[in-house]
């Protein structure tokens, strides 16, 4: 069966510090991968998605970047965090060849920028 791992679960970082959040998927090959951010009362905001190694699409301009160095690894990064980067970050995967494939989410990382 497929599993998705996301870490760390919680993170407190000072403004201006770098960020690296990692997500890995097991039990499937060549998935679509996604990074979402969730803010209270605002639903889920798609930040990045990837259809293959090295292929990243950004949905919103921001202080963050994403990379996919391996087929089942997706990394969210920032060089200098802002207070507004605080939030709950969710990684997800879906079947690349299925238009109606649901998203499968990790357990999220709660980031607090102080």
Binding site for another protein (CB under 8 A): 6, 9, 32, 34, 41-44, 46, 49, 51, 57, 90, 92, 99-100, 102-108, 110
Q: What is the C-alpha R_g of the chain?
A: 13
Question: Shortest distance, CB of residue 103 to another protein, whole angstroms?
Answer: 6
Give the residue with the Cβ less far from another protein, 18 or 75: 75
Cβ(61)–Cβ(47) below 8 Å = no
How big is the chain, counted in residues? 114
From start to end of the chain, where are the E strands?
Answer: 3-7, 10-13, 19-26, 32-38, 44-52, 55-58, 65-70, 73-78, 87-94, 104-105, 109-113
Q: Tell me how far apart the alpha carbons of residues 104 and 53 are, in angstroms, rounded to a whole number.
A: 19
Give the residue with the Cβ less far from another protein, 79 or 112: 112
Question: Shortest distance, CB of residue 66 to another protein, whole angstroms?
Answer: 14
Give the residue with the Cβ less far from another protein, 29 or 99: 99
Give the residue with the Cβ less far from another protein, 42 or 69: 42
Question: Shortest distance, CB of residue 75 to another protein, whole angstroms?
Answer: 17
Question: Shortest distance, CB of residue 18 to another protein, whole angstroms?
Answer: 24
């Amino acid at each position: 069966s497929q599993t998705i791992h996301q870490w760390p679960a919680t993170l407190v970082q000072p403004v201006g510090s770098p960020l690296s959040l990692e997500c890995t998927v097991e039990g499937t090959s060549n998935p679509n991968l996604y990074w979402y951010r969730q803010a209270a009362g605002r639903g889920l905001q798609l930040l990045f998605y990837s259809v293959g190694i090295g292929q990243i699409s950004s949905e919103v301009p921001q202080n963050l970047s994403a990379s996919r160095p391996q087929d089942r690894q997706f990394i969210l990064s920032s060089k200098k965090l802002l207070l507004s980067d605080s939030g709950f970050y969710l990684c997800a995967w879906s079947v690349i060849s299925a238009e109606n494939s649901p998203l499968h989410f990790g357990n999220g990382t709660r980031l607090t920028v102080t």
